[in-house]
């Protein structure tokens, strides 16, 4: 599912952009995931477990953009990936359609 571009100004005057990451962000996304996994123990994977290729990440990002149930939203500050949230349907079963998995990560420098 696509989240359209939204520009937001923070109290300190910093502007950031929220949008769905696309294939052009694949390399940034991999680097970001490794970095945030090193910065906190609360991520679901250790940095050494992140070994996806750029092509695999492109495929994942395209799947998210084309999904009717899943969405990813990234926060960019001066074109730097600062945060990311993923929302995914647990299962497509009728009794589970109201359930979702949400994952949020933010670079330590933006905490």
For residue 35 the two structure tokens come to 């970095």
Q: Is residue 83 part of a domain?
A: yes
Q: Is residue 23 part of a domain?
A: yes
Q: Is residue 1 part of a domain?
A: no
Q: Is residue 71 part of a domain?
A: yes
Look at the chain and report how many structural domains it folds into.
1
Q: Is residue 68 part of a domain?
A: yes
Tell me the C-alpha distance between 36 and 106, whole Å.
7
Q: What is the mean pLDDT of the chain?
A: 92
Task: Tell me the CATH number at 75.
Answer: 3.40.630.30
Q: What is the domain extent for residue 90?
A: 6-110
Q: Is residue 14 part of a domain?
A: yes
Strands annotated E in the chain: 6-9, 15-19, 71-77, 80-89, 100-106
Interval 71-101: pLDDT, tens: 999 999 998 999 999 999 888 888 888 899 9
Q: Do the beta carbons of residue 26 and residue 95 sit within 8 Å? A: no
Q: Do the beta carbons of residue 46 and residue 37 sit within 8 Å? A: yes
């Amino acid at each position: 599912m696509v989240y359209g571009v939204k520009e937001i100004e923070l109290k300190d005057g910093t502007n950031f952009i929220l949008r769905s990451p696309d294939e052009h962000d694949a390399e940034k996304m991999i680097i970001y995931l490794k970095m945030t996994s090193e910065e906190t123990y609360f991520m679901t994977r250790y940095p050494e477990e992140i070994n996806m290729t750029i092509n695999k990440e492109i495929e994942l990002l395209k799947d998210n953009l084309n999904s009717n149930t899943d969405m990813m939203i990234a926060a960019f500050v001066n074109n730097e990936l600062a945060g990311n949230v993923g929302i995914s349907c647990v299962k497509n079963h009728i009794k589970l359609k109201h359930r979702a998995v949400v994952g949020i990560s933010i670079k330590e420098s933006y905490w």
